[in-house]
């Protein structure tokens, strides 16, 4: 099944919202450490509510551990730097949609490592979407394509 990965998330409310999204859609969430906050943070708890109990969270010490543990999955990087629209991409059922840090995205070595880089098309006047919105749009499109919606 499609899953979401967060690279060193640094805003607790966004991480909680994405975790809640994953719980509601039945998706696993991969968190690449370190987080920029503690999972006991009150801002995180306020948004995640009891959905944390419905979530399948897998934590990784670093990006390389994510790759090693998910050799049969494609990692799809969502990036404002990508050229290809997610709407022109064919998702597969075991894909992992990777989203970068809200403050810095992902490091250049990850950009080089990942073959499939996609963007959510937005207005040329806008800089970027909130990571939670990008995760939601990406997950919905991927699930639609694999006929889960």
The CATH number given to whatever domain includes residue 32 is: 3.40.1280.10
What is the percentage of the chain residues whose pLDDT exceeds 90? 74
Collapsing DSSP states into helix, strand and coil, what is residue 48?
helix
* pLDDT over 80 (residue 75): yes
Provide the phi-psi class of 5: left if phi over 0, else alpha when psi is between -120 and 50, else beta. Answer: beta
What is the number of structural domains in the chain? 1
pLDDT of residue 12: 87
Residue pLDDT, tens place only, 82-92: 999 999 999 99
Range(s) of the domain holding residue 90: 3-145
| Higher-pLDDT residue of 16, 27 | 27
Cα–Cα distance, 149 to 72 (Å, whole number)? 23
Q: How far, in Å, CA of 19 to CA of 31, rounded?
A: 10
Output the pLDDT for position 81.
Answer: 92
The SS3 assignment for 84 reads: strand
- Span 43-63, mean pLDDT? 81
Please state, for a pLDDT cut of 70, what percent of the chain lies above it: 97
pTM: 0.93
Query: 119-132, pLDDT tens digit by residue?
Result: 999 999 998 999 99
């Amino acid at each position: 099944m499609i899953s979401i990965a967060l690279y060193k998330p640094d805003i607790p409310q966004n991480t909680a919202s994405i975790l809640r999204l994953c719980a509601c859609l039945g998706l696993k969430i991969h968190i690449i450490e370190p987080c920029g906050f503690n999972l006991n943070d009150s801002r995180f708890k306020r948004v995640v509510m009891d959905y944390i109990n419905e979530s399948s969270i897998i934590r990784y010490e670093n990006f390389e551990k994510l790759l090693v543990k998910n050799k049969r999955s494609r990692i799809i990087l969502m990036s404002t730097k990508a050229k290809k629209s997610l709407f022109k991409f064919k998702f597969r059922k075991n894909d992992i949609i990777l989203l970068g840090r809200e403050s810095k995205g992902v490091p250049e070595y990850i950009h080089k490592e990942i073959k499939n880089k996609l963007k959510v098309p937005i207005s040329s006047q806008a800089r970027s979407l909130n990571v939670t919105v990008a995760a939601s749009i990406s997950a919905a499109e991927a699930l639609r394509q694999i006929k889960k919606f």
